[in-house]
């Protein structure tokens, strides 16, 4: 293994180049595209990662089973970027218009923002559309005497309604509204009076967005490992990309921390607990630990809009007055889970 992150990057770039050559011959090879998307994500090129994932034509339920852990993480980790990542995107799928479409840093950043908005919107739509269509499917099956199908449709509807991905996209959509509002009313020069007015307007915009998000995220419905269903198909992940303990928004950065700690090397395919089908809801201790940490991370993000709104003086409208204490509790819980995972991994290495 490379001795440092800087030393690892050239090897990763070489691997990316080799995989890119391979998909020119087999453009729809799923394993190769997923590896390219993962490498692009780790190299801070989220638009390139998204390009590779969309080449697989992921849609409908795949936005839950695959997109939630391979498409969303890089877009959440790097929602804005510089012109440097435009080159990676152009290299991912070169076209006559790729350099002109988002060549400058600002244009490319806006492109990445649109990609994130699309991913969140499409994933939210998956669950909303299924919730609307589920009733009709049940009545149709019942009317045709397909009673076993009624049971299957009901179980599937309940599974999607409790999906971990649904909690993630609800939370991240609200947070994205807050972060987008924080950039409103910017501006370069001007008097100190106008700058002050812009700052006040920006604070008001963030407060309004946080209150709106908090209204949709009731602290009484905090995600827990026992209340969520984990539909991610973890078996699609390469051996060098283990499922992280942190949520999707921190998954990319967590991989680099894990690499520095020596936790990525030596992961043979036969030793990956996540390689089996249905491993996300498996019975192994690693799977249970992963579910607990993911639920805790989701709850942590769930409470952030409440904390933002409260910090900016908002009250009512769904803003929880006890959310800060809950936030501290979730932070401590998540830290304890992560520490336990690291300690367990260290014991295994010994």
pLDDT tens-digit profile of 133-150?
A: 777 777 777 777 776 777
Sorting pLDDT into bands at 50, 70 and 90, what band is 17? very high
- Any idea what the Cα angle at residue 307 is, between residues 124 and 64, rounded to 5°? 20
Q: How many CB atoms lie within 10 A of CB 94?
A: 10
Angle, helices 285-311 vs 192-216, to 10°: value is 130
Task: Report pLDDT for 45.
Answer: 94
> How much is the pLDDT for 137?
72
Answer whether 76's CB lies under 8 Å from 46's CB: no
Q: Say whether pLDDT at 98 is over 70.
A: no
- Mean pLDDT, range 28-42, rounded to an integer: 96
Give backbone dihedrals phi and psi of 239, rounded to 5 degrees, phi first. -65, -25
In this predicted model, what pLDDT tens digit does every residue of 44-86 receive, in sequence order? 999 999 999 999 999 999 999 999 999 999 999 987 654 445 5
- The tens digit of pLDDT for each residue in 185-211 reads 444 445 556 678 888 888 899 999 999
Count CA atoms within 13 Å of residue 288 on its CB side: 4
SS3 content of the chain, % helix, strand, coil (to 5): 70, 0, 25
Task: Please state the rounded mean pLDDT for residues 291-299.
Answer: 96
pLDDT 10s digits, 210-254: 999 999 999 999 999 999 999 999 999 999 999 999 999 999 999
pTM for this entry: 0.81
Question: How many Cα atoms sit within 13 Å of 252 on the Cβ side?
Answer: 22
SS3 assignment, position 94 = coil
In this prediction, residues 84-111 reach a mean pLDDT of 53
Q: Per-residue pLDDT tens for 298-316?
A: 999 999 999 999 998 887 6
d(CA 139, CA 146): 10
From 112-126, 150-164, 228-242, the region with the lowest mean pLDDT: 150-164
Question: Is-contact 256 42, C-beta < 8 A?
Answer: yes
Compute φ and ψ for 319, nearest 5 degrees. -75, 125
């Amino acid at each position: 293994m490379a001795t440092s992150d800087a030393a690892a990057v050239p090897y990763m770039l070489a691997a990316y180049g080799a995989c890119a050559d391979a998909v020119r011959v087999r453009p729809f090879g799923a394993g190769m595209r997923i590896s390219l998307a993962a490498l692009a994500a780790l190299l801070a090129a989220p638009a390139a990662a998204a390009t590779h994932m969309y080449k697989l034509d992921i849609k409908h339920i795949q936005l839950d089973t695959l997109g939630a852990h391979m498409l969303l993480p890089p877009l959440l980790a790097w929602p804005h970027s510089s012109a440097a990542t435009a080159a990676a995107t152009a290299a991912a799928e070169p076209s006559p218009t790729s350099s002109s479409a988002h060549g400058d840093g600002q244009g490319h950043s806006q492109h990445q923002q649109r990609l994130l908005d699309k991913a969140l919107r499409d994933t939210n739509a998956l669950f909303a559309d299924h919730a609307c269509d589920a009733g009709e499917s049940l009545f149709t099956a019942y009317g045709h005497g397909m009673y076993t199908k009624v049971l299957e449709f009901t179980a599937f509807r309940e599974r999607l309604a409790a999906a971990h991905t649904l909690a993630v996209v609800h939370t991240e959509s609200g947070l994205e509204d807050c972060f987008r509002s924080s950039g409103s009313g910017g501006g370069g020069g001007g008097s100190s009076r106008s700058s002050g007015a812009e700052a006040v307007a920006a604070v008001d915009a963030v407060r309004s967005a946080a209150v709106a998000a908090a209204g949709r995220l009731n602290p009484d419905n905090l995600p827990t490992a026992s209340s969520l269903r984990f539909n991610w198909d973890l078996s699609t992940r390469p051996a060098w990309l283990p499922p992280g303990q942190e949520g999707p928004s921190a998954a990319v950065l967590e991989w680099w921390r894990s690499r520095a700690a020596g936790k990525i090397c030596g992961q043979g395919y036969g030793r990956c607990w996540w390689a089996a089908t249905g491993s996300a809801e498996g019975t192994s201790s690693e799977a249970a630990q992963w579910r607990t940490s993911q639920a805790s991370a989701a709850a942590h993000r769930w409470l952030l809009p409440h904390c933002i709104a409260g910090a900016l003086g908002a009250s009512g409208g769904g803003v929880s007055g006890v959310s800060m204490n809950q936030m501290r509790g979730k932070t401590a819980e998540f830290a304890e889970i992560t520490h336990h995972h690291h300690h367990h991994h260290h014991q295994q290495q010994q």
